[in-house]
Chains A and B, each alone.
Chain A
Amino acid sequence: MPNLIIDGMPVAAAEGQTVLQAALAVGLDIPHLCHHPDLPPGGHCRLCVVQVDDGPLSASCQLAVREGMSIATDTGPVREAREAALDLILSAHPMQCLTCASNHACKLQQVAAQIGVDEARLGRLRSLTNSAPKDESNPFFLRDPQRCVLCGICVRTCDEVQGRGALAVGYSGAATAVVAGSDVPITESICESCGECVVRCPTGALVHREPRPPAREVRTVCPYCGTGCSLLLGVRGDRVVSVRGEADGPVNRGQLCVKGRYGMGFINSDKRLITPMIRRDGALTPATWDEALDLVAHRFAACHGTTFACIGSARCTNEEVYLTQKFARAVMGSNNVDNCARLCHAPTVTGLKQSLGTGGGTSPIADIAKASCVLVVGSNTTEAHPVVGAHIRRAARRVPLIVVDPRETDLAQRARIHVRLRPGTDVPLLMGMARAILDAGLEKLTFIEERTEGFLPFVQAVMAMDPAWVEETTGVPWATIAEAARLYAATAPAMIVYSLGITEHTHGTDNVLAIANLALLTGNIGRPGAGVMPMRGQNNVQGACDVGCVPDSLAGGLPVRDPASREAVGRRWGVDLPDTPGLTVMEMLDAARSGSIGALYITGMDVAYSAADTTRAQEAIRAAEFVVVQDILLSGTAELADVVLPAAGFAEKDGTFTNLERRVQRVRAAVPPPGQARQDWQIVCDIARRMGAGGFDFTDASQIRDEMSEVAPAFAGIRFDRLAGDGIQWPCPSVEHPGTPRLHVDRFATPSGKARFAALAYRPSAEAPDESYPLVLTTGRSLYHFHLAMTAHVEGLMELNPEELVWVHPDDAVARGVADGDLVTVSSRRGSLNLHAWITDAVSPGTAFMTFHFYEAPTNRLTQAALDPVSKTPEFKVTAVQVRLAGDDDR
């Protein structure tokens, strides 16, 4: 702790601080323009000069604190230097403050006021303003080089915070300017439109297009992916007018991605559902709540038991999803309740539960920064979970990154090793890595002996993986596999991040087990910087599973088959609970198709488009006798419903979301729901009460949370009054318990307390390419979209990513006579779509890629409903397809 004197005042600084940081920390403001607390010093503006030990001036932003140093921040020479530097900066700045979007929020104004501007003095300088044109290419923000003070904050932000490097200080001398890419409009560069630079720009050089200061701000959680970024929604009247990252957000520390920052247009969209609708004469027509609720209650009452099926929403709050499954079980007597996790991370729940005892990510996101090696498998993190992706990009600047992915993703390009496997060969690859680790003697025997079981059969299965066969099956040279394996095993602590590239397979659970095997083999569980992190897709998909919105467990993961659990929950609810696990999403659809579902209650899920093989899914929904869809927008599924109920969106409700690190965070209503839309939990209560059920008399979301805490021991200590700040990571068994950031530190949550190795064998994917369908299609998410409806109502996002494209490798394109931008037909055994082709070697020869964000080209018409036998998750990631020029029927 160096002690120094600043303006005669003793200041105890922290080791490694600069003088400016030490001064600011004690509330002593030294004028500065190019310093930002999140960034390393730039040393551009020179306004922060101070006098050191009565000697020469020095920029305090670059001056390291030293024991005993004496700093004067306001001497004659300091003032002269500052005034001159300020005059110079102002001489190059257009003085159009009142019409500038940064007026009043401008750091240059602030320092000018702080230092003092003398008109006569400033007037001696000649104007050095430039006349560079504005860059208006981005739909969300504007760049005005005339207002740029060249503080370099945007450049450093893109490098250090976002880890992207889209910007640089180009040219030199008077021509010095910030450039994007090769000095192109910013949307033509690799900019991801996250807006982090806009947030930090001290002047009007980078401004949001709609910079409307809010009247008040409400802290809540982002409704997009499972990262769980804390947001401040800015409100004027009853409308959300601004968004910014909450600096204290435990996950994002103020950072947001393009969707989080700019993707909230759907809240105020005029396409929001504002009134209940009932299908009359084939068309959905507006109805009153009484009409709609009466109809629903009446029809539901006729479907008690297993003919009732319910899909809860991973977009809703924990409290709402809890209530939804309670409704299905307690009122409808059916365990046919599931959520969209079935289509993504159900194998994570089944796999990790089998292996480690708990079906959740083991570590906090912040642990990525503590890892000495990061292994990313089947996760395009920087697009699908951009803020976690930024964590990984920052880590990759220091430590080795290994990426296993058939595509050359952004992370793959930054990786020390990119393992470009053939889609669907994950088990041979991961077991092959285990073999390479064993061959090299890098397994952690003590950990294995003390904390695991099933090692011997596992080793036998591993040794059955012959390197030559692994190489042939995966298409990856053994040397690469072995190098990656050794790097992961030898660089502790190492963290595994994985996502749907692992789970969305007919061997998804096996894949998850194979991931867990690797972590167990190397002792990479239960300590900082290690662990297994599934990137959960939806904002509350972790929570939806946790609170029992699955056919085989009750809240807190209590098994439906366990009489004691049923008994305990049933007693609290005052009913006898059904004892047979119910149907999963894909099974519900099959049941509906075969006519055995009387009522299907779907809240906040666009299952008609997100399920695999949408033709079948849509047939199923049409075949169900009575379909109720509760949503915020008229989704493709809602269009097929008999009754549509308008729900409140995330910005309009109180409750909690649970993110991918099991962190339960508070969601707060910022604005009232539009029109007659109601909270999802209120709607469920309305229906239940109309059906005469007890236990649905809640007046407030916190009451539901309290009931959940009673029912589920893992959440016993999670109450609204404890969630003001960082939230709580479950398990949290009591109100005194601080929560559990890191799982499995001392023992695993299995009955024996030991983790279980899984002896796995290779099962090929359900569909293999053949002559008619020679390409393997994989699917994934784009940075600019989430699923379908939400981002479709955000103009700027549609502008940045307006249509579905099929990515085709140049070799495959040439063979088909397809050129970049050609209209092609993509067909599978289930259907076909017409869309434009994008020729790129980001996909391997023999593979193609599509996202799934557009109703105009619904990708899942192509995918198949082949399921993982354990988790019942469909194989979205391997579909045999053909790509031909549209209208070209020649085979």
Chain B
Amino acid sequence: MRRWASGGRPANDAGPLERAARPVVEAVLAELRADTLPRLERPGLLMPALALLQRWHGSIANGTIAALARSLGLPESKAYAAATFYSSFTLAGDARKARPPALDAALESVMGAERAPEAIRSWGIAAPDGRPGGALARCGSIRPESVDDYRAAGGYAGLQAALAMPAEAVVEVIRTARLRGRGGAGFPTAAKWDHARAVVAPDKVVICNAAEGDPGAFADLAILQQDPHSVLEGMAIAGHAVGAARGIVYIRSEYEDAGETVRRAAREASDRGALGSDFTVEVFNGGGRYVCGDETALLNSMEGAAGRPRLRPPLPTEHGLWGRPTVVDNVKTLALVPLIMRHGSEWFASKGTPATTGPAILAVSGFVRRPGVVEVPMGATLRQVIDEGCGGMADGAELKAIQTGGPLGAFLPADAVDTPICFDAMKAAGSPLGSGGLIVVDHRTCMVAASRAFAEFAAAESCGHCAPCRLGTQQVVLALRSLMGPGACQADLDLVVRMEAAMRSSSFCAYGRSAASVVLSAMRAFADEFAAHAVERRCPADWCSMEAM
């Protein structure tokens, strides 16, 4: 029998695969209590449902996407596009799926970087009473999920203080503290909150951006694992300030365990009434894409779409999750907010530098003696962080460069080690502070190989939306691969420069604009090393096999 083409079949006609997948999809949606969600928000269950399907069945069978899409009110194509966008889902029979290379492993081999979120040191930030007063001060000394422990350590006092004030006054406190967002851009938090507060809407949302995706960044993870209530408290304060009753922690899929910790902490906080009368926090698990750290990509991803950045304006504070005014703040930013409310804006502003107040929360990895999470006042130098925070360089390692700002950042050469840590000084030195990940590179590292690892990451994590980033990152990878082999030539270097300029000037989003900045910074700071590859076909670090096989 010949069938009608699908276009002519009734809108709800399901093929055999889809029909077969219905029961599992229904079970998953029942587990997620899909029926409690308004129709408009049901597409947002796509990622949680895919994650659950995968956990239950190992991979996502053919037909499942169609069944799920239909249940959630999404076109199948859009659901499929979203499912294939995230790296954490495995679709049965999907051979084309590009998975980002295990960059952490690449970095480990090239630069010796590994995550060490358990080692936490906070120094130089005293509370008004003289005791350690940094955002990380409690880590390790309290049970992470315990409201009682957190309260005993002074927690939720900031929220109490905030709830006693009108919303405008809370924003004013944050403004006078001059808090700048720790996610990377250093945007004044009060300005963002004020914008969201001013929008008249019945329903607003506060989102904690815990999509920490920078290789070498793990401070958010440390806070979420060890002191989740500080983040919840910060969200509740933000909620009060902007008029939002709903908080959502968007957590990267690799942090599933930390997500569970936050979930339990949020449940306990709710049960105990610790978040105020009407503020609730839920946890949303991301799907493993770097670019979802962009707040608009994150919103798309929560709405069941591929996590590609949106066009701005409108800003999320005006038109965010499901069209509601939405404040998206980084984990570290939110963890600092309770301190400000508790100790006052003057106290906060007195820490750090005039331009960047308060503590810097850094994750240090690479060739240092003691990698870990380090909290210091803004304005401390990189050298202080390495020497005093991390016990100096590892045995036999000489400082060659410090990689900061993640894959959109740069390499700072060793001679910049006295740069003070703050958004502006770092930027002036040529490398953004970003979200505070520092990878310390030693003299044995080949900067071409290190650049290539970042370039591969940039290409794999490109969302594919715009031509310069999607294709430019690929060209950079191919040029760097060439540079590491017998065909190396000056044209490879020229091409990288040209591609970087094109991406920087015309990509759609911040990711694309900086997707080759790490590579370019290495080429500038270590021009001799790149020239050795390109002209002499020699790898000074003896890492690359430059000879023809």
Contact = CB atoms under 8 A, between A and B. Distances in A.
B37 interface: no
A193 B77 contact: no
A169 B300 CA distance: 14
Nearest to B310: A43
Nearest to A804: B4
B273 interface: no
Contact of B7 (A45, A165, A192): A192
A799 B85 CA distance: 34
Given A173-B464, A408-B12, A800 B1 contact: no
Interface string A403-416: 00001111011000
Interface residues of A, number: 76
Contacts of A189: 6-7, 76-77
B528 to A, nearest CB: 23
Nearest to A169: B81
B81 A168 contact: yes
A55 B504 CA distance: 14
Nearest to B74: A165
Contacts of B506: 46, 49, 57, 59, 81, 84-85
Q: Name the interface size band of chain B.
A: 35 or more
B5 A181 contact: no
A91 B80 contact: no
B10 to A, nearest CB: 3
Interface in B490-524: 491, 494-495, 498-499, 501-502, 505-508
Interface in A170-203: 170-177, 179-183, 187-193
B436 interface: no
A179 B81 contact: yes
A595 interface: no
B465 A43 contact: yes
A799 to B, nearest CB: 8
Interface string A23-54: 00000000000000000010111100100000
B505 A77 contact: yes
B76 A413 contact: no
Nearest to A194: B7
B1 A821 contact: yes
B80 A183 contact: yes
B6 A190 contact: yes
A174 B98 contact: yes
Contacts of B6: 181, 187-191
A841 interface: yes
Interface stretch (B110-118, B454-462, B529-537): B454-462
Given A150-B464, A168-B80, A172-B98, A43 B508 contact: yes
A44 B81 CA distance: 17
B75 A190 contact: yes
A172 B502 contact: no
Contacts of B498: 84
B164 interface: no
B236 interface: no
A784 interface: yes
A173 to B, nearest CB: 5
B549 interface: no
B77 A128 contact: no
A782 B466 CA distance: 39
A595 B115 CA distance: 96
A410 B311 CA distance: 31
A801 interface: yes
Interface string A151-164: 00000000000001
A89 B470 CA distance: 10
Given A45-B467, A173-B470, A179-B77, A408 B10 contact: yes
B501 A80 contact: yes
Contacts of B505: 49, 56-57, 77, 80-81
A391 interface: no
A315 interface: no
Contact of B8 (A57, A128, A149, A801): A801
A190 B69 CA distance: 13
A173 B98 CA distance: 8
Interface centre among B11, B462, B463, B478 (most CB of A within 10 A): B11
A363 interface: no
Interface centre among B62, B80, B459 (most CB of A within 10 A): B80
Contacts of B11: 190, 408-410, 412-413, 842
A842 B10 contact: yes
A545 B221 CA distance: 74
Contacts of A261: none
Nearest to B17: A182
B468 interface: yes
Contacts of B479: 126
19 contacts: A43-B311, A43-B466, A45-B466, A84-B472, A84-B498, A84-B502, A88-B468, A89-B471, A91-B475, A92-B471, A149-B467, A165-B75, A167-B77, A179-B80, A181-B77, A182-B66, A410-B11, A803-B2, A840-B13
Given A88-B502, A171-B85, A258-B7, 18 more contacts: A43-B465, A43-B508, A59-B508, A64-B313, A80-B501, A81-B505, A84-B498, A85-B468, A88-B468, A124-B491, A126-B478, A170-B85, A171-B97, A172-B84, A172-B463, A173-B460, A181-B6, A410-B10
Q: 8 smallest A-B Cβ distances: which pairs? A: A176-B464, A842-B10, A165-B75, A84-B502, A168-B81, A168-B77, A800-B5, A175-B98
Interface of B: 1-2, 4-13, 62, 65-66, 75-78, 80-81, 84-85, 96-98, 100, 289, 306, 308, 311, 313, 459-468, 470-475, 478-479, 491, 494-495, 498-499, 501-502, 505-508
